[in-house]
């Protein structure tokens, strides 16, 4: 299969220009003015943007969590991602405490192989670190193409490791060229605030938000940065929500430290006023919770200052029936919301269209930086000769409205219902095949490939 995309505005993390793009097989073969190739398919991209497929490095597909499973599996989740212009996701494998990383890997291979439609990779969440697991960490990097290790500073009893384990893990990961990522919130503080609210009979979703104040995230982010500085390990804070946490990273830069930071679309565009005093707020019960307008402003400027390098989603959807597990107690509401589909369009509409970020910054945070940080650049994350032909053709003027009635995620509500968006994903190409056209997905379950990742370092960007 060969495709010639004519006259689009090509956008990369460094420039934009009008050009044609020619793909053959799975790769980009040529980019230039007035390319003269015979192609199986020609797409007129006049007045459209042509940018690299989005990479969402923070999704939870078919994940066991809080007594249930996230409602999108690899098939429905990667299909919805493709509809929105995300051609690759990185999901989280969870080690079961007391069990091995290899057993967890096998479980996640069973979830993804033959099911994924878009490309994927895995982070390995280390929830129980010891000498045997240390050996497995090395095998993951050297033999399995998994070079990023997720840690949790919260969710005690299920996922959390202590600071001693964290430091030992960082030492191994640094030595073998990997990266430690973190859910940075102070789990003990949060647990005590939850217990206090429960004791006082405060059971509505708003108390989820009130049990995780900004300080719990700011403190843990600073502590994580200190442990990275001590060990020299490269590190990445996932789903950062607030000014306080960003300031902890800003402070670390003053000793010339680099800590990678990811925020998520919801923290840029939604705020805590959604947690009213009724159960509706369960739709946005996620950890960390939504914050304030001042935090949105801090995150947008963090993106422009280069302190926030990646925008993901933390896609972790649950059906309304599942959310109702916490109808009498906010602490039992499964944490997470559906987001994988609209990341690229929301970020374009709220970011580029509203003048908060440039087009090149958009591509940088939605695709390129994730590819660089997670060891798959330039195969993924850019439009360049020799890169995978993962391409989005995007109409920057088309207006539409987000709704559960039209989304493709396996979730019976939308956290963005009725939101007006400017900019729409039109055609999506995944490794040289047309994945999305005319709002239909042309690829089947099993088309998605596992993308093994290489080593990384603090200086990749
Ligand atoms: O609420 C969330 N974020 N659910 C998924 C698990 C996590 O902490 O990322
Ligand atoms: Zn998390
Ligand atoms: Zn997550």
pLDDT, tens digit, for every residue of 352-399?
A: 999 999 999 999 999 999 999 999 999 999 999 999 999 999 999 999
Nearest CA, atom 7, ligand 1: 287
Using the mean position of ligand 2's atoms as its centre, give its distance from the Cα of residue 16 in Å.
34
**What is residue 403's predicted lDDT score, i.e. its pLDDT?**
98
- Cα first-last separation, the chain: 34
To test ligand 1's pocket by mutation, which of 239, 241, 411 has the most ligand atoms within 8 angstroms of CB? 239
Mean pLDDT of the region 319-340: 98
Half-sphere exposure of 350 (CA within 13 A, CB side): 21
d(CA 63, CA 213): 26
Whether the per-residue pLDDT at 279 is higher than 90: the answer is: yes
Q: What is the pLDDT of residues 412-443, one digit of tens each?
A: 999 999 999 999 999 999 999 999 999 999 99
Nearest CA, atom 9, ligand 1: 314
pLDDT bucket at 334, cuts 50 / 70 / 90: very high
- Nearest alpha-carbon partner for 414 in 339, 326, 351: 339
Using the mean position of ligand 3's atoms as its centre, give its distance from the Cα of residue 60 in Å.
6
Using the mean position of ligand 2's atoms as its centre, give its distance from the Cα of residue 238 in Å.
7
Q: What is the pLDDT of residues 21-42, one digit of tens each?
A: 999 999 999 999 999 999 999 9
Whether the per-residue pLDDT at 277 is higher than 90: the answer is: no
Whether the per-residue pLDDT at 185 is higher than 90: the answer is: yes
**What is residue 5's predicted lDDT score, i.e. its pLDDT?**
99
Whether the per-residue pLDDT at 95 is higher than 90: the answer is: yes
Q: Could you tell me if residue 438 is left (phi over 0), alpha (psi between -120 and 50 degrees) or otherwise beta?
A: left
Whether the per-residue pLDDT at 72 is higher than 90: the answer is: yes
**Residues with beta carbon inside 6 Å of ligand 1?**
60, 183, 286-287, 314, 316, 335-336
d(CA 224, CA 150): 12
Mean pLDDT of the region 111-118: 98
Mean pLDDT of the region 225-239: 98
**What is residue 297's predicted lDDT score, i.e. its pLDDT?**
98
Of all residues in the chain, the percent with pLDDT exceeding 70 is: 100
């Amino acid at each position: 299969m060969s495709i010639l995309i004519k006259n689009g505005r090509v956008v990369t993390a460094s420039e934009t220009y009008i050009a044609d793009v020619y793909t053959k097989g799975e790769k980009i073969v040529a980019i230039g003015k007035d390319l003269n190739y015979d192609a199986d398919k020609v797409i007129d991209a006049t007045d459209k943007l042509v940018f690299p497929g989005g990479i969402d490095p923070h999704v939870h597909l078919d994940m066991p969590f809080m007594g249930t499973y996230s409602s999108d599996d690899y098939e429905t989740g990667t299909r919805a991602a493709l509809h929105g212009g995300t051609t690759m996701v990185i999901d989280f494998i969870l080690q079961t405490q007391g069990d091995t990383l290899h057993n967890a890997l096998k479980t996640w291979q069973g979830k993804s192989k033959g099911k994924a439609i878009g490309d994927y990779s895995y982070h390995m969440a280390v929830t129980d670190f010891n000498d045997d697991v240390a050996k497995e960490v090395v095998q993951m990097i050297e033999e399995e193409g998994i070079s990023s290790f997720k840690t949790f500073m919260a969710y005690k009893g299920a996922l959390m490791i202590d600071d001693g384990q964290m430091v030992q893990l960082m030492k191994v990961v640094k030595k073998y060229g990997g990266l430690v990522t973190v859910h940075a919130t102070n789990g003990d503080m949060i647990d005590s605030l939850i217990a206090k609210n429960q004791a006082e009979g405060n059971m509505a979703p708003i108390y989820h938000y009130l049990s995780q104040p900004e300080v719990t995230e700011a403190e843990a982010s600073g502590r994580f940065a200190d442990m990275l500085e001590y060990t020299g390990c490269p590190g990445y804070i996932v789903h950062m929500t607030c000014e306080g946490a960003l300031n902890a990273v800003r402070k670390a830069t003053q000793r010339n430290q680099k800590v990678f930071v990811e925020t998520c679309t919801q923290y840029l565009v939604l705020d805590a006023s959604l947690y009213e005093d009724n159960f509706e707020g369960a739709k946005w019960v996620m950890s960390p919770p939504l914050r304030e307008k001042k935090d949105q402003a801090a995150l947008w400027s963090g993106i422009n200052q280069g302190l926030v390098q990646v925008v993901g989603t933390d896609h972790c959807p649950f059906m309304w029936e599942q959310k109702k597990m916490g109808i009498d107690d906010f602490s039992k509401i499964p944490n997470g919301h559906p987001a994988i589909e609209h990341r690229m369009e929301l970020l374009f509409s709220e970011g580029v269209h509203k003048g908060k970020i440039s087009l090149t910054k958009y591509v940088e945070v939605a695709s390129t930086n994730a590819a660089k940080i997670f060891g798959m650049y330039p195969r993924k994350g850019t439009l360049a000769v020799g890169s995978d032909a993962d391409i989005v053709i995007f109409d920057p003027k088309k207006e539409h409205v987000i709704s559960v009635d039209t989304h493709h995620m396996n979730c019976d509500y939308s956290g963005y219902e009725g939101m007006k968006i400017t900019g729409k994903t039109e055609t999506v190409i995944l490794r040289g095949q047309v994945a999305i056209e005319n709002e239909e997905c042309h690829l089947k379950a099993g088309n998605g490939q596992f993308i093994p990742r290489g080593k990384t370092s603090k200086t990749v960007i």
